[in-house]
Chain A
Amino acid sequence: AQTVTQSQPEMSVQEAETVTLSCTYDTSESDYYLFWYKQPPSRQMILVIRQEAYKQQNATENRFSVNFQKAAKSFSLKISDSQLGDAAMYFCAYEGGGSNYKLTFGKGTLLTVNP
């Protein structure tokens, strides 16, 4: 079974600074997808960024980028120029590339942004 581990229960960053959230996963599959989801307080979860395992190039979405190390099974999220609105719970998630469409989530990292 696939597992996703987020070793940082909480992180904090100063506004305008950069922060990196860690995620490792375990799988025997070669084809899969990785995601970072953001869950603001009392609001629904939204997708931040995704990475296809077959792509070597790291995904980037504006201020958000990932460092995908397939051999190490590591998938970290970097948030640049942090903003107050980035404060949320961040979840790393795994989806198998076959017909298994369910997401397996980590326990999450609570990000606080200090003004």
Chain B
Amino acid sequence: DTGVSQNPRHKITKRGQNVTFRCDPISEHNRLYWYRQTLGQGPEFLTYFQNEAQLEKSRLLSDRFSAERPKGSFSTLEIQRTEQGDSAMYLCASSPVPGQGWNEQFFGPGTRLTVL
């Protein structure tokens, strides 16, 4: 197991284009999270899945953003009609379902999006 992987690592696009990112979690991790990190800020929560169900979405996730996790395995995050303000690092994390208490989230390397 090589950990959480994300593709692509970098994406440059023109304003108005659609982009899609992929996240492959650690196998058998039931939970998958998406965060966005802009320059000089900590990661901000976007959404999370337990298996294939999307259980929570942040207000940051406008209607141009959509996330899916078909079959509870990998996840995709699509941004439609990109804007310059969407430029950020998009981080994916996964965690097992804990028996009790806390759960460690394992982060991927991120996809850096630049919107020109």
Interface, chain A (partner B; CB < 8 A): 4, 6, 33, 37, 43-47, 50, 52, 91, 93, 95, 97, 100-108
Contacts and interface: CB of A to CB of B under 8 A. Distances in A.
Given A44-B109, A50-B104, A52-B102, A101 B48 contact: yes
B-side binding surface: helix, strand, loop or mixed? Answer: loop
Interface residues of B, number: 25
A104 B102 contact: no
Contacts, number: 53
Nearest to A47: B104
Contact of A46 (B31, B91, B103, B107): B107
Given A101-B31, A102-B33, A52 B42 contact: no
A46 B91 CA distance: 12
Contacts of A47: 104-105
Interface in B51-89: 56, 58
Contacts of A37: 107
A1 to B, nearest CB: 11
A78 B3 CA distance: 28
Contacts of B103: 101
A106 B3 CA distance: 24
Contacts of A6: 42
